[in-house]
């Protein structure tokens, strides 16, 4: 039996702010349980819903030092079984209280320094000896660092390897070196350009990438992109140096959670076979709920996204007057930067019959939009993997994407001569290119509806479940364990 531990800052169903939580929650269930014992460890946030927290089982607690910050800091261990997977929760109310998992950067740096060290301190106590600790994003970046330094001579970890997975290279956990020395008591020689030092500060993700045995990211294309200066966020040199120990494995989605055949959140359930009529019924019901003109012949294009620069919203800003013509309804759901929230509110005010701005996030409402929309627009500046386009295809909403990262790896562009493809795409980060491809999609929708329905059907029947990704991770684990 191979023992694998996922270490992450969030995980469905307990706590979620982004796609990392989906990976940490859905992927561990998919491994072959006869060969792999995959467990997960995350912080015991006080904002985890009571229905879970009240059922966590207390295992034990102990005290450890945290650099020069604490001689003795409380580390509690809670346990919970969910869908056949064992989850551990690192308990410390000083660090993990509050109504959301993240706060200001300085506090988060300290919190996840504590978390990284606590993970390694906990494992001998619960007697779970991993062959691999699979560390997710910068919040777990110091685990490989501590393994190769503070725990280098610890017999318990003599055969444990580490994998560092980058979900989004833009977020790295950077702060000044003196603070890191204070929090970790790592020696001065660790804070050099070949180790943790980064532009005169220290960088947790970089530390993880330097010391991990292997690095992965969440799509093949993104693994290549981040080795270039444009996408590399200052770490492209290190990634090029380590490219023999780097690969991309595309994320999947949970096909139980996203299934139009039995989704209780949508107005009318459907399959690929019954899609055409049922999607029209979902569209009419959503139009009514949003106060848009009820007309199933309108082309409904949606954006379900965090409203940030990364997501290509400046391209939409430059073209929305022309996207939202008299045949089109544009529906957005999400929260984020104030200027983008205001942008969509402004367009809703300007075109109340064509634009619906829903500046909040609700998983149930998002499902309604996936089921009702004809197309899903994802024009990202960069996109490590992206789940929106995968969920959209599952619901027969045709993705219109920019060819970057996981969007390029998962959406096959429509070829009208061969009758292939699962969506529409454009290459350059350019508003006119995006508009051209949206107009081409509209042309197919209105002038060749049979071809459009076939595109949607191919998307619905493609397999982007976690099965394929889990097999690739199993191969990777086997190779690293040897």
Q: Same structural domain for residues 96 and 205?
A: yes
114: in domain:
yes
Q: Which two tokens stand for residue 329?
A: 């309804």
Residue 437: count other Cβ atoms within 10 Å of its Cβ: 22
Q: Same structural domain for residues 162 and 71?
A: yes
Q: Same structural domain for residues 130 and 206?
A: yes
Q: Same structural domain for residues 194 and 248?
A: yes
Pick from 365, 310, 309, 297: nearest CA to 332: 365
Q: Same structural domain for residues 44 and 155?
A: yes
315: in domain:
yes
Separation between Cα atoms, residue 112 and residue 476, nearest integer Å? 26
Q: Same structural domain for residues 114 and 224?
A: yes
451: in domain:
yes
Q: What does the pLDDT read at residue 242?
A: 97
Q: What does the pLDDT read at residue 254?
A: 87
Give me the number of domains the chain comprises.
2
Which residues have CB under 8 Å from 349's CB, separation 6+? none
Phi, psi (deg, nearest 5) at residue 360: -165, 175
264: in domain:
no
Q: Which two tokens stand for residue 295?
A: 């007309």
Pick from 444, 137, 134: nearest CA to 299: 444
259: in domain:
no
262: in domain:
no
Q: What does the pLDDT read at residue 299?
A: 98
User: Residue 352: which domain range?
Assistant: 275-461
Question: What CATH number did the domain enclosing 443 receive?
Answer: 3.40.50.2000
Q: Same structural domain for residues 346 and 383?
A: yes
Q: What does the pLDDT read at residue 18?
A: 82
Q: Same structural domain for residues 221 and 282?
A: no
265: in domain:
no
Q: Same structural domain for residues 178 and 303?
A: no
Q: Which CA distances in Å does 399 have to 112, 120, 392, 437?
A: 36, 42, 7, 11
Ranges of the chain with pLDDT below 70: none
Q: Same structural domain for residues 22 and 164?
A: yes
Which residues have CB under 8 Å from 441's CB, separation 6+? 375, 398, 400, 424
257: in domain:
no
Q: Which residues of 9-34 are buried (b: 16+ CB within 10 A; e: fewer)?
A: bbbbebbbeebbbbbbbbbbbbbeee
Q: What does the pLDDT read at residue 160?
A: 97
Q: Same structural domain for residues 387 and 442?
A: yes
Q: Same structural domain for residues 298 and 218?
A: no
Q: What does the pLDDT read at residue 17?
A: 87
Q: What does the pLDDT read at residue 19?
A: 84
């Amino acid at each position: 039996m191979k023992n694998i531990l996922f270490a992450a800052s969030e995980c469905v169903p307990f706590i979620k702010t982004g796609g990392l939580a989906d990976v940490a929650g859905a992927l561990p269930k998919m491994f072959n349980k006869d060969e792999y014992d995959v467990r997960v460890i995350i912080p015991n946030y006080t904002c985890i819903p009571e229905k879970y927290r009240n059922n966590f089982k207390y295992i034990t607690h102990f005290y450890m030092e945290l650099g020069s910050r604490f001689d003795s800091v409380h580390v509690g261990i809670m346990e919970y079984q969910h869908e056949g997977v064992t989850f551990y929760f690192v308990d410390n109310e000083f660090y993990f209280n509050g109504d959301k998992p993240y706060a200001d950067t300085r506090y988060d740096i300290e919190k996840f320094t504590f978390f990284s060290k606590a993970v390694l301190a906990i494992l001998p106590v619960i007697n779970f000896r991993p062959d691999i600790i699979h560390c997710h994003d910068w919040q777990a970046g110091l685990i490989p660092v501590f393994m190769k330094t503070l725990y280098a001579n610890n017999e318990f970890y003599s055969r444990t390897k580490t994998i560092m997975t980058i979900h989004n290279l833009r977020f790295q956990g950077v702060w000044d070196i003196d603070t890191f020395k204070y929090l970790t008591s790592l020696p001065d020689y660790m804070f050099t350009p070949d180790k943790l030092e980064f532009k005169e500060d220290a960088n947790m993700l970089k530390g993880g990438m330097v010391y991990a045995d292997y690095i992965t990211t969440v799509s093949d294309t993104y693994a290549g992109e981040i080795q270039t200066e444009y996408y590399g966020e200052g770490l492209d040199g290190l990634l090029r140096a380590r490219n023999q120990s780097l690969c991309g494995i595309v994320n999947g989605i949970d096909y139980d959670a996203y299934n139009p055949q039995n989704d209780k959140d949508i107005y009318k359930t459907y399959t690929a076979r019954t899609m055409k009529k049922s999607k029209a019924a979902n569209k009419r019901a959503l139009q009514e709920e949003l106060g848009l003109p009820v007309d199933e012949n309108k082309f409904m294009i949606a954006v379900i996204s965090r409203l940030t620069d990364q997501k290509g919203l400046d391209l939409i800003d430059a073209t929305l007057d022309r996207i939202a013509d008299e045949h089109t309804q544009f529906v957005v759901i999400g929260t984020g930067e104030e200027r983008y929230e205001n942008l969509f509110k402004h367009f809703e005010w300007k075109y109340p019959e064509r634009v619906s701005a829903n500046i909040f996030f609700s998983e149930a409402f998002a499902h309604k939009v996936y089921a009702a929309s004809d197309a899903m627009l994802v024009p990202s500046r960069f996109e490590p993997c992206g789940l929106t386009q995968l969920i959209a295809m599952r619901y027969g909403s045709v993705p219109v994407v920019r060819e970057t990262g996981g969007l390029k790896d998962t959406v096959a562009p429509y070829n009208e001569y061969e009758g292939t493809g699962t969506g529409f795409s454009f290459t350059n980060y350019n508003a006119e290119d995006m508009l051209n491809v949206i107009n081409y999609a509209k042309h197919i929708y209105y002038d060749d509806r049979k071809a459009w329905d076939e595109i949607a059907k191919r998307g619905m029947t493609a397999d982007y479940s976690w099965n394929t990704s889990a097999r690739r991770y199993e191969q990777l684990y086997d190779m690293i364990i040897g």
